[in-house]
Amino acid sequence: MSQEVEKYSKPTRILHWVHLVSFCILFLTGLVLFIPQLGFLAQDSVTRVIHRIGAVVFIIAPLIYIPMNWQATKRGIKEAFSWGASDIGWLKAAPRYYFSGDEKDMPPQGSMNTGQRLWWLIVLVSGAIFTITGLIMWFAKTSAPAAVLQWMVFIHDVAFILAGTMLLLHIYLGLFHPLMNEAWKAIYKGNISAEYAKKHHAKWYEEVAKSKEVKS
């Protein structure tokens, strides 16, 4: 059997799936409010209640995960905000790699490549924006000035368009792109082959190999 490396721990995978499901519920029930032609679906308020239930799960899941996985959380946040010259190199070389498979200019990557880190940063920032603006719309609907509420709706909508579009790209790369054939395995089973790790996450693989976390 080929050697395997652990990419995502069980708690991280559970958080990912709980967040994905709640995000999709929030996206679909948000879409009903966003597109006037779908307004009739929101008339009896069922979708609004479902939006709020989705929001509670979306907010509580990381609040449970963070204290139980503090080291992984710190590492993850540091990665999201660490950018350098090799990220520029990755962004320049990525179109040739993703469209024609030519990887000669791709700089070696850590546990997340530049594109994955960009998505991760958007998840963190948009998650905070959704939570702050959503809670204000929810709990200050009758007390906040109308202009503030209008701004909250506008910012919530911008985050919806940005994060929703990026989610579609994320799903395409994770499930359908022929070169990303172990991404699904990583987030479903937790492991990827050592060969894939060496090729796509060389810097991270070196550290893992040193600490002997490679299983056969």
Distance, C-alpha 45 to centroid of its chain? 29
Residues 22 to 41: which contact ligand HEM by CB under 6 A?
Answer: 23, 26-27, 30, 33-34
- Out of 8, 90, 119, 160, the only residue in the binding site for ligand HEM (CB under 6 A) is 160
Report in angstroms how near the CB of residue 30 gets to ligand HEM at its nearest: 3
Q: Residues 52-71: x/- map of binding to ligand HEM (CB under 6 A)?
A: ---x--xx------------
Stretch that binds ligand HEM, among 10-18, 70-78, 126-134, 170-178 (CB under 6 A): 126-134
Q: Name the residue whose CB lies closest to ligand HEM.
A: 134
Exposed e or buried b per residue across 62-91, where buried means at least 16 C-beta atoms within 10 angstroms of its C-beta: beebeeebeebbeebeebbeeeeeebeebe
Residue 117 near residue 80 (C-beta atoms within 8 A): yes
Q: How many residues sit close enough to ligand HEM to count as binding (CB under 6 A)?
A: 23
H or E segment at 192? Answer: strand 191-193
Report in angstroms how near the CB of residue 37 gets to ligand HEM at its nearest: 13
Non-local (6+) Cβ contacts of 166 within 8 A are 119, 122
- Out of 13, 48, 185, 199, the only residue in the binding site for ligand HEM (CB under 6 A) is 48
Q: For the sheet containing 191-193, what is the strand order?
A: 191-193, 4-6, 214-215
Is 192 a residue that touches ligand HEM (CB under 6 A)?
A: no
DSSP 94: H
Q: Which ranges of 112-200 would DSSP assign to H, the alpha helix?
A: 114-139, 146-175, 183-189, 194-200
Binding region for ligand HEM (CB under 6 A): 23, 26-27, 30, 33-34, 48, 51, 55, 58-59, 130-131, 134-135, 137-138, 153, 156-157, 160, 163-164
